[in-house]
């Protein structure tokens, strides 16, 4: 089924419908794309078979493509193979070096310095828009039109910022920008940890709401919990089997044992009576999700660490790699490392989108208020933010009403600010965090880096601490925060108190 010209004309501002009469035989789709690239009109796919894309979805998708383009450029300039090809095949390479602050050695055009400068331009691109779009509440305002359109001009601006960054003198820029990158990267890690713990908290609370009304939801909670624990156990067995070796890898073995103990600790704390009686939404489902995430971070850390060279059974071996050859010996292979990097970047893009939605729903303090969401009814699609907005709109005292005509779907400013942090996080990850000098893309996936390894290990421990704090912090609240007397949990507390008093009287 094809779309008529009226469908495109209705979506185009600034009299785009009149342009059709002036251009004669030019298709309406071409007019739409011209208005999208050079005007405030939102982009829409021309293919009649493609589903119609919402303005908010299309805008975020295009900004994601901009960020993917920036990351691809960073990987290219960091690759030793690509750098050698550029030096041999680009005719004006030497002439360009003479006009740059780095001189004739061309250190600015390749390696970690080029990654820092490309990410500097990308970060300025997103940070400038974050400041420009603060407190935008209507998609029809002038600033919102700039946000949703002018894509070709934005691409030129982004490329111009990349080019301008290469003319910054290299005296103190790299060191100062490295400090900014470290701070921004750690802040982005914190955002990711809040999102994963809030995801687990919200899932458990939503389904326990249904379990209190229908016992079939209890079965779903049980199946989901067992499923996540099964995934965590399989991941643990996989890491022990492929990332350890009888001749060494003592650090991997120790971290696996320690992180496995943390999983047992979280599971035990989540089912203790003192914890379950305070936050009524706590349970093993939350702990199982955090255990899976901890195993993922452990896998990512093991994939990022340098190998070990040991002598085992009279042979010199390089161990602690995931791949095993036909002879049973471990060998270098970048497949698992590249796969882990792809999963990591997918999590980065998901965090950017999710944080912008939560910032619009809960305001600047969304990282705190997201844990206080209350659901009126359970849903299998609770993680969809549109469903969550409906729940908040139906509940009394909701923070944000579900009214798209008066509010934008997501926070434009928070969206760009989180992408600014993501640019710094990607920059630090590609350049091995604290050992950025001499960083190469090939070495990142084969030789690894201790800095990246420990950052990911500490991130996993920080996630566990955040989750335990969410469980144990309510224990410090006064008794006034306990559920009302009519609540079943309160009746259990009174019943246990009476039993305790009875035991005391009998003992006396």
Q: CB atoms < 10 A from the CB of 318, how many? A: 15
In this prediction, residue 233 carries a pLDDT of 95
Q: Under a CB-based contact definition with an 8 Å cutoff, are residues 33 and 141 in contact?
A: no
In this prediction, residue 151 carries a pLDDT of 86
Is residue 174 predicted with pLDDT exceeding 70?
A: yes
Indicate the DSSP class of residue 54: P
Angle of helix 151-165 relative to helix 55-78, nearest 10 degrees, comes to: 30
Largest pairwise CA distance in the chain: 101
Q: Residue 437 — pLDDT band, cuts 50, 70, 90?
A: confident
Phi, psi of 169 (to 5 degrees): -60, 145
In this prediction, residue 170 carries a pLDDT of 76
Angle of helix 412-430 relative to helix 173-211, nearest 10 degrees, comes to: 120
Q: Residue 22 — pLDDT band, cuts 50, 70, 90?
A: very low
Q: Is the pLDDT higher at 38 or at 324?
A: 38
Residue with tokens 């603060």: 134
Mean pLDDT of 132-144: 84
Which tens digits make up the pLDDT trace of 379-420? 666 555 444 444 444 444 433 333 345 667 888 898 999 999
Q: Where are the beta strands (DSSP E) in 244-397?
A: 308-312, 315-319, 323-324, 330-331
Q: Is the pLDDT higher at 80 or at 162?
A: 162
Mean pLDDT of 446-455: 85
Q: Is the pLDDT higher at 163 or at 201?
A: 163
Q: Is the pLDDT higher at 378 or at 112?
A: 112
Q: Residue 293 — pLDDT band, cuts 50, 70, 90?
A: very high
Q: Residue 12 — pLDDT band, cuts 50, 70, 90?
A: very low
Under the phi-then-psi rule, with left for phi > 0, alpha for psi from -120 to 50, and beta for the rest, what region is 68?
alpha
Q: Residue 333 — pLDDT band, cuts 50, 70, 90?
A: low
Among 115, 223, 126, which Cα is nearest to 178's?
115
- For all residues of the chain together, what is the average pLDDT? 75
Per-residue tokens: 146:
């700039």
Among 298, 232, 304, 266, which Cα is nearest to 458's?
298
In this prediction, residue 492 carries a pLDDT of 40
DSSP 402-465: --TTTS-SS-HHHHHHHHHHHHHHHHHHHTTTT--TT--HHHHHHT--HHHHHHHHHHHHHHHH
Q: Is the pLDDT higher at 258 or at 57?
A: 258
Among 188, 177, 62, 56, which Cα is nearest to 124's?
177
Instruction: Report the predicted TM-score, pTM, of the whole model to 2 decimal places.
Output: 0.78
Q: Residue 53 — pLDDT band, cuts 50, 70, 90?
A: low
Under the phi-then-psi rule, with left for phi > 0, alpha for psi from -120 to 50, and beta for the rest, what region is 44?
beta
Residue with tokens 């310095």: 113
Identify the weakest region by mean pLDDT among 148-157, 342-351, 447-456. Answer: 342-351
Q: Residue 203 — pLDDT band, cuts 50, 70, 90?
A: confident
Is residue 27 predicted with pLDDT exceeding 80?
A: no
In this prediction, residue 501 carries a pLDDT of 40
Per-residue tokens: 485:
């007397």
Identify the weakest region by mean pLDDT among 118-122, 175-179, 344-348, 475-479. Answer: 475-479
Mean pLDDT of 443-472: 88
Mean pLDDT of 6-15: 40
What is the rounded CA–CA span in Å between residue 171 and residue 299? 38
Q: Under a CB-based contact definition with an 8 Å cutoff, are residues 165 and 70 in contact?
A: no
Among 350, 367, 387, 376, which Cα is nearest to 197's?
367
Q: CB atoms < 10 A from the CB of 173, how many? A: 16
Is residue 490 predicted with pLDDT exceeding 60?
A: no
Q: Under a CB-based contact definition with an 8 Å cutoff, are residues 381 and 373 in contact?
A: no
SS3 262: helix
Is residue 477 predicted with pLDDT exceeding 80?
A: no
Is residue 2 predicted with pLDDT exceeding 50?
A: no
Residue with tokens 């002439």: 95
Per-residue tokens: 507:
């003992």
In this prediction, residue 260 carries a pLDDT of 94
Identify the weakest region by mean pLDDT among 76-80, 130-134, 184-188, 380-384. Answer: 380-384
Which tens digits make up the pLDDT trace of 259-275? 999 999 999 988 888 87
Strand bridging mode 308-312 / 315-319: antiparallel
In this prediction, residue 493 carries a pLDDT of 40
């Amino acid at each position: 089924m094809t779309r008529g010209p009226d469908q495109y004309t209705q979506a185009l501002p600034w009299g785009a419908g009149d342009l059709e009469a002036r251009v004669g035989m030019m298709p309406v789709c071409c007019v739409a794309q011209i208005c999208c690239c050079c005007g405030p009109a939102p982009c829409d796919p021309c293919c009649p078979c493609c589903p119609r894309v919402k303005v908010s979805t299309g805008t975020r998708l295009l900004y994601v493509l901009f960020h993917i383009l920036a990351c691809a450029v960073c990987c290219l300039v960091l690759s030793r193979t690509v750098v050698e090809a550029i030096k041999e095949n680009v005719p004006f390479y030497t002439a360009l070096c003479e006009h740059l602050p780095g001189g004739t050695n061309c250190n600015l055009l390749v390696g970690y310095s080029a990654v820092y400068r490309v990410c500097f331009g990308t970060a300025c691109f997103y940070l400038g828009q974050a400041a420009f779009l603060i407190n935008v509440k209507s998609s029809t305002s002038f600033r919102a039109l700039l946000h949703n359109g002018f894509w070709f001009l934005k691409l030129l601006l982004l490329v111009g910022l990349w080019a301008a960054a290469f003319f910054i003198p290299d005296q103190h820029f790299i060191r100062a920008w490295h400090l900014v990158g470290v701070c921004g990267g750690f802040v982005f890690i914190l955002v990711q940890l809040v999102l994963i713990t809030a995801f687990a908290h919200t899932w458990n609370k939503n389904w326990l709401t249904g379990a209190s009304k229908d016992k079939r939801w209890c079965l779903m909670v049980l199946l989901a919990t067992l499923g996540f624990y099964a995934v965590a156990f399989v991941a643990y067995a996989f890491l022990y089997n492929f990332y350890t070796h009888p001749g060494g890898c003592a650090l991997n073995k120790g971290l696996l044992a320690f992180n496995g103990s943390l999983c047992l600790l979280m599971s035990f704390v989540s089912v203790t009576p003192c914890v379950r009686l305070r936050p009524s939404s706590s349970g093993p489902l939350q702990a199982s999700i955090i255990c899976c995430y901890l195993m993922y971070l452990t896998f990512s850390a093991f994939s990022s660490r340098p190998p070990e060279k040991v002598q085992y059974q009279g042979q010199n071996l390089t161990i602690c790699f995931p791949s095993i050859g036909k002879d049973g010996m471990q060998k270098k292979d970048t497949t698992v490392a590249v796969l882990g990097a792809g999963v990591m970047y997918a999590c980065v893009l998901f965090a950017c989108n999710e944080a912008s939605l939560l910032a619009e729903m809960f305001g600047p303090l969304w990282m705190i208020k997201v844990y206080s969401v209350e659901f009126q009814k359970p849903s299998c699609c609770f993680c969809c933010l549109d469903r969550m907005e409906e729940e908040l709109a139906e509940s009394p005292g909701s923070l944000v009403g579900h009214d798209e005509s008066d509010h934008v779907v997501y926070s434009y400013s928070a969206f760009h600010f989180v992408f600014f942090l993501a640019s710094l996080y990607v920059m630090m990850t590609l350049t091995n965090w604290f050992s950025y000098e001499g960083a190469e893309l090939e070495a990142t996936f084969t030789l690894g880096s201790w800095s990246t390894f420990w950052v990911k290990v500490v991130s996993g421990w920080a996630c566990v601490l955040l989750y335990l704090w969410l469980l144990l912090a309510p224990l410090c609240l006064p008794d006034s925060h306990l559920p009302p007397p009519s609540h079943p949990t309160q009746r259990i507390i009174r019943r246990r108190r009476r039993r305790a008093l009875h035991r005391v009287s009998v003992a006396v």
